[in-house]
Structure 1
């Protein structure tokens, strides 16, 4: 069963499930496909029969990413096309708690650290910088420079404190040590722009990248001369990649080819399934941390969809190739 929420005239860019509330999801969206107009941050709750709107806020520019606090179930951060980060509280229906305006171009990525006791936020911008923030967004703690192109994706390691990965239009995947403000590894991962990266939830050395070249590459940081596997099947740029929180070898990708694909990268034939239920670019994708094999995605077709792909049901993803 697929549950659908429709947001007229708002084109979805990112979705993230709440780390605290099993049925809650946030969606960052924009008017006019993010090219012009305002943005909207939606907080949605899945019910037994559908998806309902809990809260929404409009912003003066498009919103391109969203992340939930790992310390407070009511707090989330959105990334804006005006270079801003906004700290929102679902208990406050009027205005953001704080707005940070240090980036000089579109902020395309924001992520809240998951390692215990850290409570930091990272943002990546078209201004080619990565900024690390405290949990109140009061000011940036560190600015990381080194990418030679637009930064599309920044994500904290779920295993190693002070460690994050970034993906850029310069074709590199980079791993950073925030404590030293240094790039520890720069991998020429694709010969085209990389729009997304994600860490495996089970192995601190495994990351995935999704590129304009239509491929997903899985990397082992202990040997980056070539990818562990190159996942082929998408026919247009891959907008987002996400590892499953329940299966070490499983990941998902969504694309401008209107599809979401599920993979087991340990297999010789890695493609598990292709889901084609959108009529426009699919930009946002996430797994539910509380409900095994439940997935949420969003698209430029003005819909957010929650579903459980059959290929991820018990045993399906772990069967022998």
Structure 2
């Protein structure tokens, strides 16, 4: 398994076991999505074969884990309506598949991309300032987004309409962080520049719990434990990491670092945390028992903050080596069967399904050839979407649910 991190214009992939155990030289590969341009966000897809990156280059780039560029959206030949004139601050794949990806940034619009068709299929409006967080709920029924104006908006993916709009309840702080529970469709947490956290049940009208100014500086990362949604972890520029028990509505454990934290990712074992710092390090903690970090990885130069950290999945969507292709690497073996999570205003009638793949004559006969096939498969329709530089360090579910759950919110007034 790999852990991805970005600092400045650089993206690096590390052997997760080697990194968390403090072994020397865990870097597997590194690349520059756009030399000299800041990278803001990273996300692994459901197969663990593709990493999505976004930043100040106004594109979402897809990378095979070996370091080859699979492509970018919007494409160079895209519709003018798809061309972005914004910095992209947040991206997320949908919860059930890698076909759909949402994005948000300085354009103040949430966009939903169909990665199978390489098109923006929906633009969701409502924000009046920069969008800093976007995420699907665990059922792919709803999409939540936040902005620097302190707005939290929930959209229905069945209709594209806004379900509710609320503001940060106390100080209307600049919101920077948004995270949905992985198991509860209605539970999410937000955090922002005044250091406060709010736990929301989206069937209600106010936070279920709040931790006011828990951080003495802006919060820089927040997440739910994958194994226990009652456990929340946050980090901040105040050099503090806090663990919360939502059943008692208080912080139950805190620890400090010698540098401000700049990002956070929880491993899906529920307890291992990777926290990036402003001086280019990644700190690994076990939030159950450890006060000191399990390991420290010097990922980037001390002048580069770790802007985003992302673990691969423990149980990814499996891919047969005999059917490997860039298409399958991104979408999985059953990518074409992924149900649409919202109406597509761009019907594909009379159009062949686009291919990401290599020529049909190229096949993978056994696992030893899978990596080689991945490295050689760059004849994709995603090609020529952006520049990159590679430095290898080592060889290496059903239809949409209805929206009745939100019925208590029908009378919520707009902002």
After TM superposition, is the score higher than 0.5? yes
Indicate the structure whose relative CO is greater, using CA pairs within 8 Å and at least 6 residues apart: 2
8 Å CA contact 2:140–2:157 kept in 1: the answer is no
Match of 2:94 among 52, 56, 69: 69
Structure 1 distance, partners of 2:190, 2:68, is 32
8 Å CA contact 1:16–1:67 kept in 2: the answer is yes
Partner of 1:26: 52
8 Å CA contact 1:55–1:90 kept in 2: the answer is no
1:240 matched to 2:240 = no
Structure 2 distance, partners of 1:75, 1:305, is 29
Aligned residue for 1:271, secondary structure, equals coil
Partner of 1:317: none
Match of 2:255 among 231, 239, 245: 231
Structure 1: gaps of 5 or more residues: 32-38, 293-301, 308-321
Structure 2 distance, partners of 1:261, 1:156, is 23
8 Å CA contact 1:258–1:282 kept in 2: the answer is yes
8 Å CA contact 1:30–1:63 kept in 2: the answer is yes
Show CA shifts across 1:39-74 (max 9, x none). Answer: 221122213xx3433334362010001000124422
User: Higher strand share goes to which structure?
Assistant: 1
Structure 1 distance, partners of 2:186, 2:315, is 28
1:160 matched to 2:159 = no
Partner of 1:4: 30
Tell me how many residue pairs correspond in the alignment.
Answer: 282
Q: How does 1:1-321 map to 2 (within 5 A)?
A: 1-7=27-33, 8-18=35-45, 20-31=46-57, 39-47=58-66, 50-57=67-74, 59-93=84-118, 95-114=119-138, 117-135=139-157, 138-145=160-167, 146=169, 148-188=172-212, 189-225=214-250, 227-236=251-260, 238-246=261-269, 248-279=270-301, 280-290=304-314
- What is the CA-CA distance between 1:98 and the residue it aligns to? 1.6
Partner of 2:333: none
User: Higher helix share goes to which structure?
Assistant: 2
8 Å CA contact 1:4–1:51 kept in 2: the answer is no
Between Structure 1 and Structure 2, whose CA radius of gyration is higher? 2
**CA-atom RMSD in angstroms:** 2.5
8 Å CA contact 2:156–2:162 kept in 1: the answer is yes
Shift of the 127–133 alpha-carbon distance from structure 1 to 2, 3 Å rule, reads same
Aligned residue for 2:268, secondary structure, equals coil
Structure 2: gaps of 5 or more residues: 1-26, 75-82, 317-387, 394-415
TM-score when scaled to structure 2? 0.63
Shift of the 70–160 alpha-carbon distance from structure 1 to 2, 3 Å rule, reads closer
8 Å CA contact 2:242–2:255 kept in 1: the answer is yes
Q: Runs ≥4 in structure 1, deviation > 6 angstroms?
A: 302-307
